[in-house]
Amino acid sequence: MPPTAPTLNLFGWHIDPDSRRDMGRLAAAFIALHLLLWTLLPALSHRAPPWDNIEQLVWTQSLQWGYYKHPPAPTWWMYFWTELLGRKVWVTFFAAQLSVAGMLWCLWRIALIVTTPLRAFVALVLTALVAYHGLRGIMANHNTLQLLPVGLLLWASLSAVRASGHQRWLLWAGVGAAAALTLLSKYSALVWFAAIALWLAQDARMHRLRAWAPVLLAAAVALALLAPHLAWLVQSDFASLRYAQDSVENGNAGNASHWTDFWNFCSAQIGRVLPALLTLALLRWQLRHAPRVAHSTPAGVQQEGRFVLLLGLGPLAITLLLGLGGMHLAASWATTFYALFGLLLLRWLPAVAPAVLLRRTVLLGLGAQLLLAGGLALGRGLLVDVLGRNARSNFPAPALAAQLGTLWRAQAHTPLRVLAGETWLAGNVSIHLPSQPQVFINAEPAHAPWIDTNALARCDLLVLIDRSPGTPPASAATQALMARAQAHGQISVPWTSRPHGPQLTVDWGIVAATQPGCE
């Protein structure tokens, strides 16, 4: 059967803009390309990943129901991929971007409910260009790794409200599971729960009492899945909640005034949606002379305008109100708030011939992706080295680990099983050593529950302290361990390829075993 609209010939692939099947394949290809680009280029350009990625690699040394800073789901996610692919730098980029890719697919499925396949694809392309999904989407932290759970939660919630009969109960159970996974990713899920509750309260489909019965099932499923983490919270004296409380009361940036953090939060959001806004502006400019056509919604596609509006803007609005009320805000807390951003932008999309709109969207989307990913790779790879800058992306972890490995073989008497130090330094060294020793974070047992403190005396232990200019002092426990070292010294490695460039200077110490039985 011939297509009802002109098709787009894309590298020999004929795509009908009105076909859900054709556009679904194009959406899947675009998401796959996004995943490939934002995994491959950072992997080729970075010697070390962002700080949060190293923290996740350290935490994956043990599966827990919670960690001293955050709930456990992102670490479980990273554990699965590192067990499958290895504790390597590129795997952290892949795991982070896979969460982004999953969220983008959920957006696509939601968009097919609320608009046409072509406009759904435009929304997908624009959403992918938000900095949290690309430039900052390589950060494997609890914000980025919450993107997929949030996408699932939004898709499940909309589907459950629209469903009827027995399917409604099954979908609401899925909402409960997605809600639990979102909360197990980061406690900021509470903001999403508030926004969803607001949408449900105003939706006419939920104005009957029996419509809320499946919601009770969702709550029961979520509570059952959260129970082990709640038990861990009690056992740990609410460690991760105390960390969250300290973050909102005192901030992460060290600013005394919450108004400074509020301004930084707002200005950062403008910068992080700018790539999507500029691409939309350029798309409108390129289509300024294209003939306009009537835009109509096909039969079977129901508009869900309030869902898009309340859940596209609600979490950000709630967070801004909390900031105005005195809470210290961090810009990264808004990472998941733009899952529906492309759908919000569709109101400014001109109605032109479908094939023309599709062609321009594909070309601009691909061009913007290549520009952003290539710029990141160039800026954090070649340029920082040529300019002689010491950045995290060119941290000389492989060279440092090689020197420490040689030193250990010469001076230690047991295999290297435990490495004590700050997360960034010790974690980077650990993944580049053949034995990949466990990291004893800040020499604090509460921070590293995978360390058997009773067995520490059986093996020689390596202690590291970064002495580079501007580095914060080591923890008191790490310094106490260093004071016990029978052998110690200092090594320096070049940070860049420039002959007189910055150096990474590290104090090392070996605490000798006092008991036999190192394995």
Report which of 301, 339, 296, 299 is spatially closest to residue 113, judged by C-alpha positions.
Answer: 301
Identify the band that residue 296 occupies on the pLDDT scale cut at 50, 70 and 90: low
Name the percent of the chain lying above pLDDT 70: 97
Residue 7, pLDDT score: 73
pLDDT at 256: 80
What mean pLDDT value characterizes the chain?
94
**Average pLDDT of span 167-192:** 97
CA dist 302 and 384 (Å) reads 50
Per-residue pLDDT, 249: 87
DSSP string over 491-502: EEEESSSSTT--
Helical spans, DSSP H, in 61-208: 73-85, 89-114, 117-128, 147-162, 166-185, 189-202
DSSP 187: T
pLDDT at 297: 66
- What is the mean predicted confidence (pLDDT) over 30-37? 98
Average pLDDT in the 364-372 region? 97
Q: What was the pLDDT predicted at 12? A: 72
Q: What is the pLDDT of residues 402-454, one digit of tens each?
A: 999 999 999 999 999 999 999 999 999 999 999 999 999 999 999 999 999 99
pLDDT for position 294: 76
pLDDT band at residue 470 using 50, 70 and 90 as cut-offs: confident
Q: What is the pLDDT, as a whole number, of residue 140?
A: 97
* Percentage of residues of the chain with pLDDT beyond 90: 86
pLDDT at 204: 92
Arithmetic mean of pLDDT, 179-185: 98
Q: What is the pLDDT of residues 132-151, one digit of tens each?
A: 999 999 999 999 999 999 99
Q: How many residues does the chain have?
A: 519
Q: What's the pLDDT tens digit per position in 239-280? A: 999 999 999 988 877 788 899 999 999 999 999 999 999 999
Quote the radius of gyration of the chain (alpha carbons, Å).
25
pLDDT, residue 497, reads: 86
Ranges 284-298, 344-358, 377-391, 452-466: which has the least confidence = 284-298
d(CA 145, CA 409): 38
> What's the pLDDT at 13?
79
Helix axes 189-202, 305-324, angle to 10 degrees: 130
**Which pLDDT value is given to residue 1?**
41
pTM higher than 0.75, yes or no? yes
Q: Report the pLDDT averaged over residues 152-180.
A: 96
**Are 419 and 462 in contact, with CB atoms under 8 Å apart?**
yes
Q: Say if residue 158's pLDDT is above 90.
A: yes
Nearest to 345 by CA among 115, 189, 136: 115
